[in-house]
Chains A and B, each alone.
Chain A
Amino acid sequence: MKNNLFTLHKLLIALISSFMLLFLIPEVSADSASDARLLASQCAQCHGTTGNTLGDFDSIAGESFSELYDELMEMKAEDKNEVMHKQIQGYSEAQIWLIADYYARFSEKTNTGGGGNNIDDEDKEDEEDEEDEKDEDEEDEEDEEDEEDEEDDDDEKD
């Protein structure tokens, strides 16, 4: 009975969310209380709430786990006097793993599992179902983001 209620609740949320752009991102999925979520959110000041970065900084949505992990580890090793190279010095390899794993979920149908959360198996199944739904929604979302980017570029010229 409780499961049914929860499913109804989820359906209601899904219905409402179809009108709310940012509700669709994986951040509100079942693993949302994971340590990775908070850790990774600290990248968003410069890379955007969904990893879809505005302006000239590297966008991180759409990159795979290995691309993100390798890039970050490379910057950590290089330690140049640049903002991102300095920022990454503040994170351990294990944390870089969590961050890369988290943002990789913003890409299309890759790395839906992953570490850094405390969810049990039952929740994980729920989560995977939700991920599939969200991946489709994300594609729409990305299209809209692209349009926004173009508008922003125009603004900058002013």
Chain B
Amino acid sequence: MNNFNRRDFIKLMGISAASVATPSLVKAATGTVAPRIAVVGSGFAGSTVAKYLRLWSGNILDVTVIDPKSSHVSCVMSNLVVNGRLNMSDITFDHSVLAQKYGVKFIKGMVTGIDAGNDGVKTVFYNEDTVQKNAPFDFVVLAPGIAFDEVTGWDEKIAPHAWIAGEQTVLLKQQLEDIPAGGTFVMTVPKAPYRCPPGPYERACVVADIMKRKGGGRVVVLDMNSKIIVEEHMFSTAFSDLYGDIVEYIPDVVVNDVNGLSINTSKGSFDADVLNLIPSHKAGKIVSQLGYATVAGSWADVDPVSYELKNEQGVFVIGDSSGTNQPKSGHMANSQAKVCADAIIRMIAGQDVNDTQRLANLTTNSACYSPITYNTATWLTAGFAYQQGKGMVAIKKSLGEAEMHSIDHYEDMFSWSKNLFENTFM
């Protein structure tokens, strides 16, 4: 299975062998070993790129996902775990599915470093069960999601972010079950760009709905941005009308520090029964650690035709860690991952990723649904196309959002997430 014949690979990829130059990139892979690709992270970006590298290469490429956990908990739909509509098992995806169905290899480990050698081979260092190990790869795709900016005094076990789904989601859910009627929930909205643009406003609505059903309470939304950054009409109407007696929205907030359940900001101090502190974001730790977070000091500088780092050949960054004009979302991470998988396959086959036809058809898209009440939701969508010199640009006519939240949109939300989960994790 592992016998790699470049000529066969090219033929399988449907590329005329006569038109293919010998690329230096595949020098390491021209023997009998299939090109080896390490994928760091198993979220929407990492899982999709691993799946499509196998699917589109006819299962020839050797793809290994390195992740400290044996399953991924989706942030998409996790607010529905918070309000009890879904269980954790509904948003948890075991690695064994991609392993069995597509032959993706998994290593349960934490990547600690990459050594990009002169011969094109990259040594990836990782901890597996506290044992330091390393392995050689021809390409490395980093998909580590997000990390948080530091907040003085903050303890996430007391004031959960619940912005990387998992134990944090469960903790917030429990805290909301215990919050007394008439209690105070305080949350922060991170400075843009952050993961899931409508997400924090959606969170505010979901919690306001919980408080409303408890008989009332207070939801204080401390926004680090100067206004609601997406679906402004929808969310501002929800805050002022639907939850007018519950939600207090405060923009332009600078967080100074946190002490237990108290938060001190430029707009005053707030004591909470539940404090949902979502700090501003930066690229996943490994990206910063390797010195790749060069866009605004927080995100990776990639070429969106391949998501290869501009300053490191053979290393790619996809999903929330990459710094492009595109939103940070699970749907978008999946979309970018396919562009990256296609680019890597072309590079191995010696085809130009900047081919005019390819660039003319390079698109990504994002769509998402946000619950507003216990049984209604809204939606938001955007398409992006490649433009020379500008990268991925939002197509104005494709931008849209729901006029009103509705039961129909709530039902569509399950169709959307079900397909997105299938396309990513199954």
Contact = CB atoms under 8 A, between A and B. Distances in A.
B156 interface: no
Contacts of A32: 12-14, 56, 58
6 contacts: A22-B55, A27-B56, A53-B419, A55-B414, A55-B416, A56-B411
A30 interface: yes
B349 A33 contact: yes
B361 interface: yes
B14 A83 contact: no
Given A6-B11, A16-B59, 7 more contacts: A35-B357, A46-B420, A83-B367, A86-B399, A87-B381, A90-B395, A118-B16
B95 interface: no
A9 B364 CA distance: 34
A90 B11 contact: no
B36 to A, nearest CB: 19
Interface stretch (A37-45, A62-70, A103-111): A37-45
Contacts of A11: none
The A interface, classified by DSSP as helix, strand, loop or mixed, is helix
A96 to B, nearest CB: 11
Interface of A: 2, 5-6, 9, 13, 16-17, 20-23, 27-39, 41-42, 44-49, 53-57, 79, 81-83, 85-91, 95, 98, 117-120, 123, 127, 152, 155-156
B361 A33 contact: no
A84 B5 CA distance: 42
Q: Which 6 A-B pairs have the closest CB atoms?
A: A90-B383, A55-B415, A86-B400, A90-B398, A89-B397, A33-B13
Contact of A20 (B90, B101, B346, B361): B101
Centre residue among A13, A41, A87 by max chain B CB count within 10 A: A41
A41 B14 CA distance: 17
Interface string B374-406: 000001010111000000000101111011000
A109 B339 CA distance: 29
B contact residues, range: 35 or more
A146 to B, nearest CB: 14
B288 interface: no
Nearest to A43: B365
Nearest to A47: B419
Given A33-B349, A45-B423, A39 B363 contact: yes
B102 interface: yes
A36 B58 CA distance: 17
Interface in B95-117: 101-103
Nearest to A80: B400
A38 B342 CA distance: 7
Given A45-B365, A54-B419, A83-B400, A89 B395 contact: yes
Contact of B398 (A38, A55, A82, A89): A89
Given A54-B422, A56-B415, A57-B416, A39 B361 contact: yes
B422 A48 contact: yes
A155 B357 CA distance: 42
A59 B30 CA distance: 41
Contacts of B365: 42, 45, 87, 90
A30 B13 CA distance: 6
Contact of A156 (B55, B358, B363, B414): B414
B363 A37 contact: no
